[in-house]
Amino acid sequence: GALGDRNGDCACDRPSPRGYWGGGMTGRSAFADPHIAEGRLANQDARLGTLEEEVDKLQHKYDDFIAGKTARRERFAQLKDRVWGLEAHHCDDDHLSCKDVAFTCIGHNLVCDGHKDCLNGHDEDEETCSIAASVGSSFEGQIRQLDTCTKRKPSAFRFIITNVDVPKYFPQEPHVKATILMTSSKDGHETQSSLAVDGVYDFTHRKVILYSPDKDNLIFECTFPRHDNNHCKGVMKHSGGDVCLTFTLERID
């Protein structure tokens, strides 16, 4: 027949095409020609480079989106807290608001004790029971108002958290150790002094409380806003509660 004889041999009028690698009828691969091979490899390399650039752009867009999402979430939480604080249902200074529809308040000593006293668990959630100033945290502020509290009259005040211990028997009041560094100026000369101090952390008010080792019985408190662990309002007061100095501190670690 036209396609073959009885022995199976091809009786085709044309030879079978060869050169499946781009060699045409010669049967040679295109890569056998160095000029063609180099051109194709360079083209592939350029395409891969373009793809890598596109992937990098997409990665940057994704990172920006995630960062923006986190910032928006924190901003929303801050606004929510501000609205909550303006409404006339918050608890007194000795209690924590459960922030529920029933406006429940629980005692300061029940916050972060390991047992849920708020029906919604707000008194034991991660946000409430996280310590804003962990070990190694350092905060500094400039004192520009008249200091009627201290003997040293510092112009700059810094505290560094050196240890935080959460007692098993009373976890709602972690013990804190810190170093206070003060810079003072007198007669045109700057002097620096340091104090090792003890204190506690107040979960209810997000507050570091440090006690002066001097005989002046001064107490330093730094209160953090909700959703902001980088700034705190510093207050120096006498043991009787009278405030004699206020200033703002910022995280520098």
Query: What's the token pair of residue 26?
Result: 């010669």
Q: What average pLDDT does the structure give for the chain?
A: 83
Query: What ranges in the chain are assigned the alpha helix state H?
Result: 34-86
Residue 138 pLDDT: 97
Q: Is 117 helix (H, G, I), strand (E, B) or coil?
A: coil
pLDDT in tens, 3-49: 555 555 555 555 545 444 444 455 555 556 677 767 777 777 778 77
Amino acid letter for position 205: H
CA–CA separation, 229 and 201 (whole Å) = 14
- Residue matched to tokens 């849920």: 116
pTM score, two decimals?
0.68
7: Cα separation from own chain's centroid: 81
The DSSP code sequence of 6-18 is TT--B--SSPPP-
Instruction: Decide which of 55 and 168 is more confident.
Output: 168
